Structure formats: C-alpha cells, structure tokens
Amino acid sequence: MVVALPVTVAARRRLCACWTLHRMVAMIATLKCLIPLFCLALALGVVMDSMAQARPPQILEVSRDYLKPDAVAANRKLERRAEDLCRRLGFTHPYLTIESVSGPAEMWYLNGFDSEAEVEKLRREYQRNTKLLAALDDITRQKVSLKRLKSTDEFVSYRPDLSRGDPWIIGYGQFFVVVLFDGDPPMNGTVFEMKDGSRMLVRTTQTASEGRVLAASAGSTARVFRSFFYFRPQGM
C-alpha cells in the first residue's frame, strides 16, 4: 500500500529547485558531448576542403620575364610594387612568382585555374578593375628596359596520366625543378602540356642543391627556381 504524504510549500520548492538543477546538469553534459563533436565535424570539414583544394590546377597560366643579368634587383622591386597594388586594389586571384636559380635570369608568374570558365571570370574582373589595370600597365612599361627578350604568356593543361610522385601544389614548396620536354617525362613530377604538344614538368625540392642534382639528371632543358612570393588575396 502506498501512503500519500502531505507535501509542504517549502518541499515543493526544494523539489522544483532539484529538478531544475537536474535539467541544467543534463543540458551541460549534453553540450559537453556535442561541443567536441561539433569541433570534430568542423575540423573534418576544413581538412576535406583543404584536401579538395590541394591539387594541381587543371589549367596553368605561365607568364615569363626574360631579364638582363644586372636587372634582377630592379625587377624584384617592381614585382613587390605590383604585389602591393594587387592587394590594395582588389585583385582576387592567388598567384605564385618564382625566379631562376640556375641558367639565365628569369622570373615566372603562375596562375592556377580549375576551368576555362574560371579563366574567363578572372579576365572579366581584371578588365573591369580599371585602377589596377592602369597601375600594372605602368609597371609593365617600367620593366621594358630590364628585359633581354620579350615576355611570353601561355596556358598549359594538367596531364594527370603523365604525372608521377607527390603532386605540385601552387603555394607549396620553396625550390622547384622545371623541365621542358617532349615525349615521356624524364623523372617524377607534375606534368602540364602546352598547345604545341610540348610538355613541362614541375617538381618541388627541399634545397637548391637538391634541385641542381635533379636538374642535372633530367637534361639540358631542366632549370632550378625558387619561390619569390605567393600572393593570396585577403580572406583566402
């Protein structure tokens, strides 16, 4: 038999207070469980996003300045000026600037794209940015006297079927071996194909000396470069 005992007002308040405290503890415990799960999900999302982006570009724009031997320092100053202009005047696309360590003095500018549509989008944005366009045109005019040959610009296509070893990712690495070749790749690396069917291989190295050894084994068209700077727009 169950006996119903009288419950005073004070007892009711204690019971309510205990129940409220119990619910709060339960909620806190649930949150403590959910917070690590949320953080884990967020971290996995960042990792997966980084993995999705950490791949060679499908299309690579390769712009090359062929410099006079005594013009390297002056060209560097102008490129730093161009980088500052791109940052202040809203250039929206990352790019990598590399300079030769072996062979004739050259500076290359590398833009990576995932599609032709992305190339066209950047071209339209650049043409609309009249302030940046005018400022960079002025720098281009200043660079004319620094060059031994006219600059070139070409779009090349990624060849995953010919690429071997660790992929080259724009913005990663300090030193690079670049090999221009026909036919089969002379060593492991990330391969791009030009419109005329010739090919370019890129491979990162830890040091310039390691790059020179690899370049020597790859033939006379292999060059060693180092990163000068990697431009990343604000917010990327």
CA gap 31, 36 in Å, rounded: 9
**Tokens, residue 200:** 């370019």
Question: Would you call 115 helix, strand, or coil by DSSP?
Answer: coil
Element (H, E) at 111: strand 106-113
* pLDDT beyond 80 at 34: no
The neighbour count for residue 23, using CB atoms within 10 Å, is 10
- Can you state the angle between helices 130-143 and 116-128, rounded to 10 degrees? 90
54-231 adopts what CATH topology?
Alpha-Beta Plaits (3.30.70)
Whether the predicted model's global pTM rises above the 0.75 cut: yes
Q: Average pLDDT of 194-214?
A: 97
CA 218, 108, 124, 169: dihedral to nearest 10 degrees?
Answer: 50
Q: What is the pLDDT of residues 58-113, one digit of tens each?
A: 999 999 999 999 999 999 999 999 999 999 999 999 999 999 999 999 999 999 99
* pLDDT beyond 90 at 38: no
* Contact (CB, 8 A) for 173 and 223: no
pLDDT of residue 53: 52
CA gap 56, 124 in Å, rounded: 24
Q: What is the pLDDT of residues 43-59, one digit of tens each?
A: 444 333 343 457 999 99
